[in-house]
Chain A
Amino acid sequence: MSTLNIPIYLDYSATTPVDERVAKSMAECLTLQGNFGNPASRSHPFGWRAEEAVEEARRNVAELIGAVPKEIIWTSGATESDNLAIKGAALFNQKKGKHIITMKTEHKAVLDTCRQLERDGFEVSYMDPMENGLLDIEAFKKEIREDTTVVSIMHVNNEIGVIQDIAAIGAITREKGIIFHVDAAQSPGKVAIDVDEMNVDLMSLCAHKVYGPKGIGALYVRRKPRVRLEAQIHGGGHERGMRSGTLATHQIVGMGEAFRIAREEMTAETARMRVLRDRLWNGVKDMEEIYLNGDLEQRIPGNLNISFNFVEGESLIMSLKDIAVSSGSACTSSSLEPSYVLRAIGRNDELAHSSIRFTMGRFSTEEEVDFTIEKVREAVEKLRELSPLWDMFKDGVDLDSVEWAHH
């Protein structure tokens, strides 16, 4: 009996569906019968109850990352957390120095924030990753200067799923007294986090990659030693002045419940993801001219990012119309640029144009993976039949030696 629901969702790193348990907890915080009060209302039980729910959620988020609840600041998502962390720390410490270190493979929320700071007179070093996607720790050490105040390195990369050695970086920044920000939007429920062991000072989190709702996130802000930020959103002084605005109880409760579930189910879930991921990889890896992007070991279990040489990513996605995946290749994001992450790890333009990201999650099944393997093999074969580059490769032509008519 087939239980396949077409189209199949294999884009869990873009966002996840909300877990039923999370949706239920959220629904209880909306109506007159529910917990609808303003958590900042001190004068009646509606406010007290809402505040209680918010604080329980705060505990759940803190617990997943080994923090204390007071260190969690609610935001609208990881983008806002990245902005608050990097701008907030850089601006607060600008008398000490104006140099920031980050990586070329960071999310745009980090890269564009850094670009903005450059326009405001800061200097930013964008480190190249090694070919496996990881930061070269020795090169990083050399990049540190007297006036370096903030280092921002992501935990799990959203495109290639590689896991940076946060603890190794944190040991260095702590010793040098540099503030260490980590974008961990992709980490919860997939890889263990302990902000103390890792010596992280600031950590961006969001709910919608771990079966919580969109539009809610958090920033972990270390209290010992205390990390101070310049607020970016001013108003009623909520969240200890770091982020004003009435707290969205239902969103926060959803994030708390999502993080509670992630904590409890992570071990079983990652084991299951690994089985699915290996099944998918084993189902395609014998194909000619395919390349796994990013380290296979230092990688979250639910991610496979593969370049199918001589096939263009957008047409491949079009062929895989029953499967929801994403392409580092561009046309999908309408920028016509191949993935900057794949370019940064040294993939040439062809391979960067030929990549597909498969990300599996809580509701993925073996049946879906098997269907995907079959469809991918079919589609790649069909498109290679159509590809002049494949012909040339088969005829032994070195494509790098061809003089292309660039347009």
Chain B
Amino acid sequence: MAYSDKVLDHYENPRNVGVLDKDDPNVGTGMVGAPACGDVMRLQIKVSEDGVVEDAKFKTYGCGSAIASSSLVTEMVKGKTLDEVAAIKNSEIVEELALPPVKIHCSVLAEDAIAAAIADIKAKREEQSTVKASA
């Protein structure tokens, strides 16, 4: 199967590979997929007090399209508010990377990773506010 130039570019020069401290209260971590299915994505976002994504990192085990999708997502989320990030749809990833139908699941997984990272940071913040409130 031939890959699109965009997929090849992200695959060969993946953006924002790395790890953020998952215990940092300002970091949301989303890990989705399963080794048995052939792909696992870990997306991390660092979110400012006022809810803007300042940094994003990923690591992905999976096919080239899965790696490219997660690399692209780290670029898409930076500078956006959590609400804007939550509105990102997998179809935008499909379009940007020109993914063929058999690879659409990679973009779905990337969307899931975003949702999981947002859920994680929101849970952390809620916990903190309840701690503060009860203090």
Contact = CB atoms under 8 A, between A and B. Distances in A.
Contacts of B32: 405, 407
A331 B14 contact: no
A405 B34 contact: yes
A387 B1 contact: no
A386 B14 contact: yes
B60 A406 contact: no
A314 B63 CA distance: 5
Nearest to B8: A318
B35 A405 contact: no
Nearest to A353: B38
Interface stretch (A91-99, A102-110, A332-340): A332-340
Given A318-B64, A386-B59, A387-B61, A334 B38 contact: no
Nearest to A309: B35
B109 interface: yes
A318 B34 contact: no
Nearest to B109: A407
A405 B34 CA distance: 6
B1 A389 contact: no
B46 interface: no
B30 to A, nearest CB: 10
A225 B19 CA distance: 69
B102 A391 contact: no
B39 interface: yes
Nearest to B70: A386
A312 B61 contact: yes
Contacts of A385: 17
B40 interface: yes
A17 to B, nearest CB: 23
B109 A334 contact: no
Interface residues of A, number: 29
Contacts of B116: 405
A196 interface: no
A334 B1 CA distance: 9
A313 B105 CA distance: 17
B3 to A, nearest CB: 7
A350 B1 CA distance: 22
A331 B63 contact: yes
A329 interface: yes
Nearest to B116: A405
Interface string A283-319: 0000000000000000000000000001110110010
B36 A349 contact: yes
Nearest to B39: A312
B33 interface: yes
B42 A388 contact: yes
A349 B14 contact: no
A312 B37 contact: no
B61 A311 contact: yes
Contact of B105 (A349, A350, A386, A407): A407
The winner among A311, A329, A331, A390 for most chain B CB atoms within 10 A is A331
A329 B38 contact: yes
A315 B62 contact: yes
A30 to B, nearest CB: 34
A168 interface: no
Nearest to A385: B17
A353 B60 CA distance: 14
B39 to A, nearest CB: 7
Nearest to A331: B63
Interface string B62-78: 11101100000000000
Contacts of A318: 3, 11, 63-64
A399 interface: yes
Contacts of A389: 35, 40, 61
B121 to A, nearest CB: 17
6 contacts: A314-B38, A314-B64, A348-B36, A388-B31, A391-B59, A407-B37
